[in-house]
Structure 1
Amino acid sequence: MTAKLLNFTVRWGLLGATLLFLGKTLVTNWHQVRQLHFHSETWIHAGVALTIAVSAQLWWAQVWGWILKVLKYPVPKRWSIVVFLKNSIRKYLPGNVWDMYGRVRAAQQRGIALESATLSVILEPIFVIAGALSLAVLGDSSPGLKALILGLILLAIHPNVLNWIWKWGSQLRGKNSSSVLMQYYPVQVLMGAGLFVGLRSLTFLLVVSAFTPLDQSTYRPVVGGFGLAWFIGLISPVPSGLGVFEVTALNALDDFLAPGLVLGAVALYRVIVIVADLIAATLAYLINEGQEV
């Protein structure tokens, strides 16, 4: 069995298994799902959540420009936002790489080295993973392990470590690599990632509260469970973490929210994020990327 076939089997096998689990859970808890009703307050919460989701997407597009700056290629804010948003919607295409490919090509056309452009799109999800883990630590399950993984990620993105890893990987592929890729520790990018995941977690909280009032004591575990589900979804081989995010959320939030409520919330959250991506991409096509802001 070739590596390509193995990867295909694992990816779609995992997707099939998670969807089967979700289907069984949905059937078992269908009576709870049917009790979820959309009323005026629900739509208000959903509207605010959508606004925040769009803001998060716009913000993260700017942070990608900061990543390029750390890699010695400062770019105009407007350019990074437009290029990111135009290509971000392509992540829903089969293959799950077309958004990255589009950004790398756009960066090359601007004169950014292929090596740095590629590294920027590789680092971007790593920063999101670090942010998601920082939320997951708030949860009650295995906080020590999550903190350890987060610490290893923060160590791996240190310039000395990251540049060495990248150079070593390039040598394995028989390619030359720049001696220095990252100039300094990306504190600004990490803070930007923190705000991004904070906005996404607020989006999820609003979605949950659209169906049921939340007590302040449940904010922390719900945010922690969301962070864990997001983290597992990001590192899974399944496109966009489809099914994996939902299954993890069900298990992480089982002690705090009814399964039917979680199913309804994650479904609405998915829809809101996709609509936010579409709105942000539409805005990008209305903006002239060649001007500075």
Structure 2
Amino acid sequence: MTVRDETTQTPAAQAEATAQAAPPSRRARARAWIRAAVLVVMVVSAVAVLAANREAVLDALTEIEPWYVAAALPGAVAAMVAALFVWRSLLADLGSPIAIRDAARVFYLSQLGKYVPGTVWSMVAQVELSRDLRIPRRTSLAVGVLAIAVSVTVGLTTGSAILLIAAPGVAEHFRLFLLALPLLLTVLHPAVLTRLLNLVYRLLRRQPLPKPPSWTGMLSAAGAQLLVWVALGLHIWPFLVGIGADPAEALPVAIGGYALAYSLGQLAVGLPAGAGVREAALVLAFAPYCPAARRRPWWSP
């Protein structure tokens, strides 16, 4: 009777063990260094942006009671969570479902790229970090593009609809930008999306998408993105109330105005996180509902 040696491995297992034991190739080491360098650049850029605006932030915080700031935090956290589910649902719809923990690591690290001039850096970070999860580059790149398209389309649609009802005078300022809505809605049709993305990949001599987007996936992402805009509006609402805006009037303007402003900022590709464009749009949206006079600091007698 022959006893089988449990240490004996199949050829495939031996090859895998050999590959894991082998030292990383020169190309792999170069990739690791490049990834580390990009991460350092993103972190340094984020710190630089925060440092450059430190005095303005501190000055603004002295003009509003601290409990209004605390009231804004839940909305900000909820928006970050909903944004993660937008990205993850699009990824799953294109054939690459991943665990929430892995999705959070890739998504939140990549958001540091928003502080580097140019919207593409966040997307580049997503593509690179997704490779560790064996997600094809073409899939993660398509998801990055789709996430921006869904965000802008839902933001312009939601913002314009709310402001046309609650604040038509504010909506008037953004009427030219709303002309892009029919084009964006057409492009987000799954059939149109599939043809456009595969055409781009064919021109780049890349393989087509492993799985085309579906109506279910796009509607799921759009629903999560709607939650993002509502949460961000609830995040900014306490600040408006804190500087004197009427709570009932400010709520729809906070949601609609922020959705429109942030969406326009995302279209400003050359600026970090849409800085400048977003703030100008916020001023147009919020100025009529905020007192012109500056309030005294909350801590002053």
**Residue 187 of structure 1: aligned partner:** 219
The answer as to 2:250 corresponding to 1:250 is no
The 5 Å alignment of 1:259-278 reads none
Give the Å deviation of 1:110: 1.3
Contact kept in structure 2, 1:53 and 1:200, CA below 8 Å: yes
1:127 deviates by 1.7
How big is the shift at 1:53? 0.7
Q: Counterpart amino acid of 2:123?
A: M
Q: Is 2:229 the counterpart of 1:206?
A: no
1:173 — aligned with what?
A: 204
Aligned to 1:103: 126
Distance 2:85 2:204 in 1: 32
* 1:116-135 per-position Cα deviation (integer Å, ceiling 9, x unaligned): 11111111122221232133
Higher relative contact order (CA 8 A, sep 6+): 1
TM-score under structure 2 normalisation? Answer: 0.66
Which residues in structure 2 correspond to 1:107-118 (within 5 Å)? 107-118=130-141
Query: What is the CA–CA distance in structure 2 between the aligned matches of 1:168 and 1:85, rounded to whole Å?
Result: 30
State the match for 1:71 in structure 2. Answer: 94
TM superposition score normalised by structure 1: 0.68
Partners of 1:37 and 1:211 within 8 A in 2: no
Equivalent-residue separation in structure 2 for 1:228 and 1:260 (angstroms): 25
Displacement, 1:258?
4.1
1:120 aligns with 2:143: yes
Q: Does the 8 Å CA contact 2:246/2:289 hold for their aligned counterparts?
A: no
Q: Which runs of 5+ in 1 are unaligned?
A: 1-33, 262-293
The aligned residue for residue 162 of structure 1 is 193
Deviations 1:47-106 (A, max 9, x none): 121232123212311321111011111111221122211221232134443332222122
Gaps of 5+ in 2: 1-58, 295-301
Provide the C-alpha distance between the structure 2 equivalents of 1:35 and 1:168, rounded to a whole number of angstroms. Answer: 48
Question: How much has 1:112 moved relative to structure 2?
Answer: 1.3
- The farther-off stretch of 180-189 and 239-248 is 180-189
* Residue correspondence of structure 1 range 222-233 to structure 2 within 5 A: 222-233=254-265
The alignment's C-alpha RMSD in Å is 3.0
- Greater mean deviation of Cα atoms: 54-63 or 190-199: 54-63
Among candidates 82, 85, 98, match of residue 62 of structure 1: 85
Q: How does 1:18-97 map to 2 (within 5 A)?
A: 38=63, 42-97=65-120
Q: Percent identity?
A: 21
Shift of 1:146: 6.2
Counterpart of 1:270 in structure 2 is: none
Letter in 2 for 1:134: T
**Superposition deviation, residue 43 in structure 1:** 0.9
Shift in CA distance, 218/51, structure 1 to aligned 2, threshold 3 Å: closer
| Matched AA of 2:189 | H
From the superposition, tell whether residues 78 and 256 of structure 1 become closer, same or farther in structure 2 (CA, over 3 Å).
same
Give 1:193's aligned amino acid: Q
Matched-pair contact (CA < 8 Å) for 2:107–2:126: yes
Higher mean alpha-carbon deviation, 49-58 vs 199-208, is at 49-58
Q: 1:252 to 1:52 in 2, by over 3 A?
A: closer
Q: Which has the larger radius of gyration?
A: 2
8 Å contact 1:222–1:256 — kept in the other structure?
no
Partner of 1:220: 252
* Contact in 2 for aligned 1:163/1:179 (Cα 8 Å): no
State the Cα distance separating 1:145 from its structure 2 match: 6.3
Q: Quick one: distance in 2 between partners of 1:57 and 1:163?
A: 28
Answer whether contact 1:136 1:146 (CA < 8 A) is retained.
no
> Partner of 1:163: helix, strand, or coil?
helix
CA distance in 2, matches of 1:124, 1:35: 32
